[in-house]
Amino acid sequence: MNALYDLPAPAKLNLFLHITGRRDDGYHLLQSVFMLIDWSDVLHVELRRDGQLTREDLTTPLPADDLVLRAARALQAFAAPGQGAHIGVAKQVPAQAGMGGGSSDAATCLLALNRLWDLRLPLQRLERIGLALGADVPFFLRGHNAWVEGIGEEITPVALPSGRFAVLKPTAGLDTRLIFAAEDLQRETSPAILSGFAANDAAEIFRFGHNDLQPVAQRLCPEVRQAIEWLGSQGLEARMTGSGSAVFAPLEQRDNAPHGPLLDDPPPGWQLRQCSNLEVHPLAGWAV
């Protein structure tokens, strides 16, 4: 095997995000449901036999040392001498959006190189490598929608109904560190119960809970509020996903349009997509 092409790295939405406490080391305790959607980056991975790791930016320029290269270097420690790779990244998922784009890219890179280099590392080993790169990487490696707790390391698969969503990313981004460092961040939301979440019907399960980061994010980045208000002008009930500036809203089935309702064009520079959720990651099963 010399190459693997068109490998998807899907984004995720946080259906809700509750902060339930804070550990002595400063890490926040959270509860959330991570849901895969069909807004994806795409990776192309080619074998190099000179031991070099290189990356080509096929769309948006990436930082010189991004999570893709860091993931490749971490996995190369298990490879035979001389095994390298050239990785092309077609970036589609916006950065600083709270959609996990960089973590998903890293997970797809780990799965691809594990196969390309014939390492046959088990999923559990890949997860340990991924966790050192970012808290969301193990979720994408497991490849199932999940109830997430702790600092993001406690992952329980959940079944979700099929749904479509309007996802809107304004021009501005958000720095996760600034939100979690804010003194006015709500950190004492009462813990929810997985069975209580799962008992909701298809219409309510996508509106469960709230995002504790949203008030701080709206103060730091007024475009978050503006994006929520813009989707509200389209008759949609929106909230922020994750710790970035993207917001989303469920699209009701009443519209009967095959690809969802018609929405106005967003403000210039904003990215709007109508997305479907995924039952499993397209690369689920690549490591066991």
Note whether residue 282 is domain-resident.
Answer: no
Q: What is the pLDDT of residue 27?
A: 87
Query: Is 281 inside any structural domain?
Result: no
- Does residue 202 register a pLDDT over 90? no
Which of helix, strand or coil describes residue 121? Answer: coil
In a domain, 284, yes or no: no
pLDDT in tens, 62-88: 999 999 999 999 999 999 999 999 999
Let me know whether 231 and 265 are in one domain.
yes
Together in a domain, 125 and 190? no
Domain membership of residue 90 (yes or no) is yes
For residues 102 and 200, state if they share a domain. Answer: no
Task: Name the average pLDDT for the chain.
Answer: 94
- Asked whether residue 178 is domain-assigned, the answer is yes
**Across 13-21, average pLDDT:** 97
pTM of the model: 0.94
Domain boundary among 140, 157, 174: 157
CA distances from 257 to 45, 253, 260, 280 (A): 37, 8, 5, 25
Same domain for 56 and 151?
Answer: yes
Tell me the CATH number at 232. Answer: 3.30.70.890
189 occurs within a structural domain: yes
183 and 114 co-located in one domain: no
Domain boundary pick from 157, 179, 201: 157
64 and 204 fall within a common domain: no
pLDDT (average), residues 256-285: 88
Q: How far apart are CA 101 and CA 91, in angstroms?
A: 9
What's the average model confidence in pLDDT over 228-238?
96
pLDDT of residue 117: 98
- Residues 128, 46 share a domain: yes
Clarify whether residues 145 and 222 are in a common domain.
Answer: no
Burial of 125 (0-12, 13-18, 19+ CB in 10 A): middle
* Whether residue 255 has pLDDT greater than 60: no
Same domain, 118 and 196: no
Nearest to 19 by CA among 199, 182, 254, 261: 182
Which of the four pLDDT bands, split at 50, 70 and 90, describes residue 254? very low
Per-residue pLDDT tens for 132-183?
999 899 999 999 999 999 988 899 999 999 999 999 999 999 888 899 999 9
Residue among 66, 105, 136, 212 flagged as catalytic: 136
**Structural domain count, the chain:** 2
Round to whole Å and give the CA distance between 68 and 278: 23
Q: How many CB atoms lie within 10 A of CB 217?
A: 27
Q: Look up the domain containing 257 and give its range.
A: 164-276
What number is the average pLDDT over the span 42-68?
96
**244 and 133 inside one domain:** no
Confidence class of residue 34 from pLDDT cuts 50, 70 and 90? very high
Residue where one domain finishes, among candidates 157, 179, 213: 157
CATH number at residue 35: 3.30.230.10
Query: Has residue 285 been placed in a domain?
Result: no
134 plus 239 within the same structural domain = no
Which one of the listed residues 12, 91, 169, 212 is annotated catalytic? 12
Q: Is residue 12 among the annotated active site residues?
A: yes
Domain contains 142:
yes
Q: Please determine, for residue 24, whether its predicted confidence score (pLDDT) is greater than 60.
A: yes
Question: What per-residue confidence (pLDDT) applies to 253?
Answer: 53
